[in-house]
Structure 1
Amino acid sequence: MPNHPVNSELLASFASDFRDDRTARIVQNAVAETAISKVAINRDVVNSIDPSMSVRVDKWPITNQKRSGRCWLFAGLNSLKPAVYKQTKLESFEFSQNYQHFWDKLEKANYFLTSMIDLADRPLDDRTVHYLLHYPIDDGGQWNMFAALVEKYGVVPKYAMPETESSSNTAEMNHTLEMLLRRGARDVRAAVSAGGDAQAVRVSVLRQVYRVLAIHLGTPPERFIWQWHEKDGDFHREGEFTPREFAERYLPDLDQYVCLVNDPRETSPFYRSFTVDRLGNVVGAKPVTYVNVPIEVIRTAAVATLEAGDPVWMGCDTGKQADRNRGYWDGNLYEYEVTYGIDLAMTKAEELEYGEAMMTHAMVFTGVDLVDGEPRRWRVENSWGDEIADKGFNTMNDSWFDQHVFEVAIRKDRLPADVLAVLDTEPIVLPAWDPMGSLA
């Protein structure tokens, strides 16, 4: 490494520059007593935002993932709720997120152990092996992973498998699962090296994973009785369902949905399909696949879907230029550069390349405010409870959209021909650690 230390002359110049900058010293005084976000907030933006929308599809209460990373499951199930409402005239309905969460954890454990067997000939410091061992199991996921769970296990109403302490607060359970899977990785690698039965080891570890999950989350129902009261009080009983029968009865065909992403890096050409190495949950399911398109294609598809009366599953980098309590996103919500007197500007591609951005959260578009056919504001169903924002529904100015929205799931019949044509091409495989493989 070149010898370029921080010396006394350099430090003296830094200190002199700061002392001579009266604005910096005033900001220093303000930030000594107040959070930087309160100092830097743009009041003009805050005062300009209201939650009214010209197009709005939500008429249901908000959900709450609490202290868990299940936003993608909440968003997936929330995006499918309208299908149940339309067929039942229920006043309030919620799917069991805990049911999906149980099977996702078990499937992810199997996916991880299968990868460890497949990669057993590589050293532990191989980048892919090291990456997988660092994140053996996670609460997060992607749309295609959600669809794989619904296809294999179906869905159930919330009363059939309600929340538990651990489904709403996953840290302790996850810690146990991580220890168990890393030990399992050790054992399957040892079995492969010794010519033993690695698959038997895999099953033994999975049996223990199931036990841990059942203790923390409960046992998933095999059948349940489905009955309800309509808004007007009429009672209905449709009888006994398996979870898959319930999904087939009420849900749309998830095979008809396509994941569009906006990845503007030069290494990621538009109108090409992508997948990410070792990204998935259900072994044998269709791979997680994206179609990379310009952001305007995503915007147009989302507007068309909302205008047709359906919500849109979406993924974004939620922490940027965001006020959690107000539930606002705007590209200029915080004037950090002006407040600090520094330059923070990066393009979306540069943020991806240098580790500043990735998809961190999944939610649902449930409305859009159109002016002369162009969106100026979006309504977003979050899963952080109803005590923040507009009873849990957030407001996103369109100035935020281009830089921080990464992904949407859209039905094929709402996509142009040039996007659909990409589905027949062989996807480019990105490495496991690529930011486009991040789990919401």
Structure 2
Amino acid sequence: MSKAVTAEDLAKYQADLENTPGSAAIQKAVMNNGVLKSSEDVHSQTTMEKTFSIDLSTGTVADQKQSGRCWMFAALNTMRHDIQQQFKIKGFELSQNFTFFWDKFEKSNYFYENVLKTAGEDIDSRKVAWLMANPQGDGGQWDMLTAIIDKYGIVPKSVMPETFSSSASGQMNKVLNLKLRKDAVTLRKLVADNASDEDIQAAKDKMLSEDYRILAYTLGVPPTKFDFEYRDDDKNYHIDRDLTPRTFYEKYIGWDTNAFQSLINAPTADKPYNHLYTVEMLGNVIGGREVRHLNLTVDNLKQLAIKQLENGETVWFGSDVGQSSDSKLGIMDPALFDKNGLFNANFDMTKADRLDYGESLMTHAMVITGVDIVDGQPTKWKVENSWGEKAGDKGYFVASDAWFDEFVYQVVINKKYLSQDLQDVIKNEYDHPTVLKPWDPMGALA
């Protein structure tokens, strides 16, 4: 039986407030300074000193500006680090706008295919409602970026620079999502009216042509052939003519994208460790690389990240960046804010409970460029963000090892660093991974 809050209850709660030691002073502090400033622990700042035993030089940070392309920036940053060192081009960037265009276009087609797959379900079914809530957005996963690169290649930023809409994507996304939802009405009606496959595909082709036009107007037309012209750090001039996005990738980056594996740490009861997972309706390129997550303990994630760093390779990772972090200080640490002490209440939750009860999920991707190891154990991690040089220490952050434990959910590691047992799991389960629901937190887009 439900119980309403009574006047007697309120009187008791007020008495509890008045009897809390220091209550009046705490109330004034929080009212004037807010929760975070009032609970900030200066000790955390002193322990997060920015010196690391392994510290890879990666140069000036990039800036995603008012867009949700962190996953894309982080992945392209790991690739540009090699180009900067090998070809001695300080400050070089790959075109985030190029991959942004093709991701948006492929997500449109991916959305249409999912609309057709679910056309027989009621409009208020959970799957259809989830699909219509956000037909496409800026976020993504590592596997989605590699699907774009495998199909379209990549270009230098100088060849396809930023536009207003790539740097501030809100207006474009609003128009594109309006268009996709309208198209969903048409496609679902065609299916309900038993239209032929030919008529449905003709309607979809027209929709995609219109989507391409919207993206061309907002982001520009992706180049199919270009010259790569640059002057290296020694002032030597170089030009490489008649490249395609694919030949540029093969010549200047040359990574085998299949060599990299997404590893997650999801300590929830429904996801046993050492198994492979995918997420229903999560992806972008139809027929391209699909999302595959290998679930491991957080200690395994850390050990593998350290192996990769020790070999001079940076690490793409996904986390809940808004938890226990300060972008001005560039610190991410569970001890940074003492909310328990401030409010005389217990806010502690396990990582599994935060995932199961909607308190946390992956929201942002960045790059690990260093780690401080003391007595064989990591104590803090150096992080390259994509929020420009004004955030943190010229764009770099430091994360405590405890923060890694609690709020890092994904790292991407070259398979050569994985044990043979784990490589066998990937090989044996790749074609039949456990399929998670579309709204599972491991399907969150950074």
1:296 to 277, 286, 299: 299
Is the 1:184–1:201 contact (alpha carbons within 8 Å) kept by the matching residues of 2?
no
For this pair of structures, how many residues does the alignment match?
439
Mean Cα deviation higher: 303-312 or 226-235: 226-235
Matches within 5 A, 1:343-358: 343-358=346-361
Is the 2:66–2:167 contact (alpha carbons within 8 Å) kept by the matching residues of 1?
yes
Matches within 5 A, 1:170-185: 170-185=169-184
Matches within 5 A, 1:182-201: 182-196=181-195, 197-201=199-203
CA distance in 2, matches of 1:193, 1:235: 61
Is the 1:298–1:408 contact (alpha carbons within 8 Å) kept by the matching residues of 2?
yes
2:366 to 358, 363, 368: 363
Matches within 5 A, 1:307-318: 307-318=310-321
Identity %: 39
**What residue is the counterpart of 2:90 in the other structure?**
91
Matches within 5 A, 1:104-253: 104-196=103-195, 197-251=199-253, 252-253=255-256
Is the 1:313–1:408 contact (alpha carbons within 8 Å) kept by the matching residues of 2?
yes
CA distance in 1, matches of 2:59, 2:17: 53
Q: Deviations over 1:362-420 (max 9, x none)?
A: 00001111113321111101000001211101111111111100001111111112221
What is the one-letter code of the residue matched to 1:11?
L
2:272 to 269, 272, 278: 269
**What residue is the counterpart of 2:263 in the other structure?**
260
Is the 1:322–1:329 contact (alpha carbons within 8 Å) kept by the matching residues of 2?
yes
| Cα distance, 1:198 vs structure 2 | 1.8
Q: Deviations over 1:126-151 (max 9, x none)?
A: 11111010011110000000110110
| Cα distance, 1:47 vs structure 2 | 2.0
CA distance in 2, matches of 1:414, 1:223: 36
Structure 2 spans left out of the alignment, 5+ residues: none
CA distance in 2, matches of 1:40, 1:422: 45
CA distance in 1, matches of 2:322, 2:3: 35
Aligned to 2:176, the other structure's residue is in SS state helix
**What residue is the counterpart of 1:69 in the other structure?**
68
Is the 2:146–2:289 contact (alpha carbons within 8 Å) kept by the matching residues of 1?
no
Is the 1:65–1:385 contact (alpha carbons within 8 Å) kept by the matching residues of 2?
yes
Match status 1:436 vs 2:442: yes
Match status 1:418 vs 2:421: yes
Aligned to 1:237, the other structure's residue is in SS state strand
CA distance in 2, matches of 1:32, 1:161: 48
**What residue is the counterpart of 2:308 in the other structure?**
305
CA distance in 1, matches of 2:164, 2:435: 38
Is the 1:64–1:385 contact (alpha carbons within 8 Å) kept by the matching residues of 2?
yes
Q: Deviations over 1:293-315 (max 9, x none)?
A: 01111000100101100100000
Mean Cα deviation higher: 20-29 or 219-228: 20-29
What is the one-letter code of the residue matched to 2:369?
T
| Cα distance, 1:230 vs structure 2 | 1.8
What is the one-letter code of the residue matched to 1:207?
S
Is the 1:189–1:198 contact (alpha carbons within 8 Å) kept by the matching residues of 2?
no
Q: Deviations over 1:193-229 (max 9, x none)?
A: 1122222222121111111111111111111101222
Is the 2:110–2:283 contact (alpha carbons within 8 Å) kept by the matching residues of 1?
yes
What is the one-letter code of the residue matched to 1:241?
L
Match status 1:386 vs 2:392: no
What is the one-letter code of the residue matched to 1:355?
G
CA distance in 1, matches of 2:282, 2:394: 34
Q: Deviations over 1:90-146 (max 9, x none)?
A: 122000101110100010011001100111111111111110100111100000001
CA distance in 2, matches of 1:297, 1:203: 46
**What residue is the counterpart of 2:380 in the other structure?**
377
TM-score in terms of structure 2 length: 0.97
TM-score in terms of structure 1 length: 0.98
**What residue is the counterpart of 2:337 in the other structure?**
334
CA distance in 2, matches of 1:102, 1:357: 29
CA distance in 2, matches of 1:278, 1:266: 22
CA distance in 1, matches of 2:231, 2:323: 42
CA distance in 1, matches of 2:108, 2:191: 18
Structure 1 spans left out of the alignment, 5+ residues: none
CA distance in 2, matches of 1:109, 1:190: 18
CA distance in 1, matches of 2:225, 2:375: 50
| Cα distance, 1:231 vs structure 2 | 1.2
What is the one-letter code of the residue matched to 2:135?
P
CA distance in 1, matches of 2:333, 2:142: 25
Is the 2:95–2:160 contact (alpha carbons within 8 Å) kept by the matching residues of 1?
yes
What is the one-letter code of the residue matched to 1:212?
I
CA distance in 2, matches of 1:407, 1:58: 23
Match status 1:54 vs 2:60: no
| Cα distance, 1:24 vs structure 2 | 2.4
CA distance in 2, matches of 1:380, 1:265: 26
CA distance in 2, matches of 1:188, 1:376: 53
Aligned to 1:35, the other structure's residue is in SS state helix
